[in-house]
């Protein structure tokens, strides 16, 4: 009985001991995380430049797709600006193997989406896929980790097989708006359209700039009978 009563204390002591030997750092400001903090410190979490676009229609993300592709709802979690914290953490997520950032921010994003009844009606979550060659080189798809975090909060399935990328496009960085659209046209293909027919689909990506990539993906979905498309991106580039 005594040993059983001591176990929680022993585990807590060991956790504190290992934290001293191998401290964890905030992905936002690189400060040492204290007990109870995970991935980011409380200061960085409270200072994320959130958009709150999910709280109203015709927000800037929805207007990106106006007249281009029918999107039911669209939002982004944070503002993505050159030099800001969001640019830094998305760089870590995409290029430095910090996959836990995607899941953690996806959890926070999911809590925001639950505030809106229209986002609550989604049936399935589709992360924007990478081309097989790019995913093999990177080792993972960052959008899938964001989607997994959202899915855990919203209790919705993630589908990573019904939409695939068949063209390995070059990076969109520093391209003009038209060049980005041209670069992203007809790069996706449906493999299991019957699984998505009649569903409210949430397309998830890391950053939205011109919306060309998401538009290309949506073009593959809009012809499915009874299908409704919404969009959720971690960052909105301004």
**Which domains, from first to last, does the chain contain?**
1-47 (no CATH), 48-237 (3.40.50.2020)
Mean pLDDT of the chain: 89
Q: Residue 6 corresponds to which tokens in the numbers above?
A: 């001591």
Sign of CA dihedral 187, 189, 195, 200: positive
Shortest CA distance to 69 belongs to which of 165, 196, 210?
210
* C-alpha 195 chain-centroid distance: 22
Average pLDDT over residues 69-90: 96
Largest CA distance in the chain: 71
Long-range residue pairs from 11-16, CB within 8 A, at least 24 positions apart, any chain: none
Answer whether 185's CB lies under 8 Å from 216's CB: yes
Per-residue confidence band for 2, with pLDDT thresholds at 50, 70 and 90: very low
- Supply the pLDDT for residue 176: 53
Average pLDDT over residues 101-106: 98
- Supply the pLDDT for residue 20: 52
- DSSP assignment, residue 53? G
Per-residue confidence band for 179, with pLDDT thresholds at 50, 70 and 90: low
- Supply the pLDDT for residue 43: 96
Which pLDDT tens digit goes with each residue over 142-170?
A: 999 999 999 999 999 999 999 999 988 75
- Tell whether the model's pLDDT for residue 232 goes beyond 90: yes
- DSSP assignment, residue 156? -
Q: DSSP alpha helices (H): ranges in the chain?
A: 2-21, 42-46, 60-64, 85-95, 99-113, 117-120, 132-138, 142-154, 177-184, 193-196, 212-219
The residues with which 158 forms a beta bridge, in sequence order, are 125
Per-residue confidence band for 13, with pLDDT thresholds at 50, 70 and 90: very low
- Supply the pLDDT for residue 172: 46
Average pLDDT over residues 34-41: 93
Average pLDDT over residues 27-48: 95
Average pLDDT over residues 198-211: 97
- Supply the pLDDT for residue 19: 53
Q: What are the phi and psi torsion angles at 185 (to 5°)?
A: -70, 135
pTM metric for this prediction? 0.85
Answer whether 37's CB lies under 8 Å from 26's CB: yes
């Amino acid at each position: 009985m005594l040993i059983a009563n001591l176990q929680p204390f022993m585990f807590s002591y060991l956790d504190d001991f290992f934290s001293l030997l191998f401290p964890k750092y905030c992905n936002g400001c690189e400060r040492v995380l204290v007990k109870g903090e995970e991935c980011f410190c409380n200061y960085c979490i409270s200072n994320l430049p959130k958009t709150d676009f999910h709280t109203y229609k015709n927000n800037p993300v929805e207007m990106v797709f106006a007249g281009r592709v029918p999107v039911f709802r669209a939002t982004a979690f944070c503002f993505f600006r050159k030099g800001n914290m969001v640019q830094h953490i998305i760089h870590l997520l995409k290029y430095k193997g910090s996959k836990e950032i995607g899941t953690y921010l996806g959890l926070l994003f999911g809590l925001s989406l639950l505030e809106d009844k229209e986002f609550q009606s989604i049936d399935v979550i589709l992360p924007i896929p990478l081309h097989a060659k790019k995913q093999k080189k990177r080792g993972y798809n960052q959008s899938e980790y964001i989607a997994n975090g959202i899915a855990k909060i919203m209790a919705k399935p993630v589908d990573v097989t019904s939409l695939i990328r068949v063209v390995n496009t070059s990076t969109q960085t520093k391209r003009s708006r038209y060049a980005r659209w041209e670069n992203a046209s007809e790069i996706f293909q449906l493999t299991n359209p019957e699984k998505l027919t009649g569903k409210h689909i949430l397309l998830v990506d890391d950053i939205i700039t011109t919306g060309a990539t998401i538009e290309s993906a949506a073009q593959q979905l809009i012809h499915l009978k009874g299908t409704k498309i919404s969009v959720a991106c971690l960052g909105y580039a301004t």
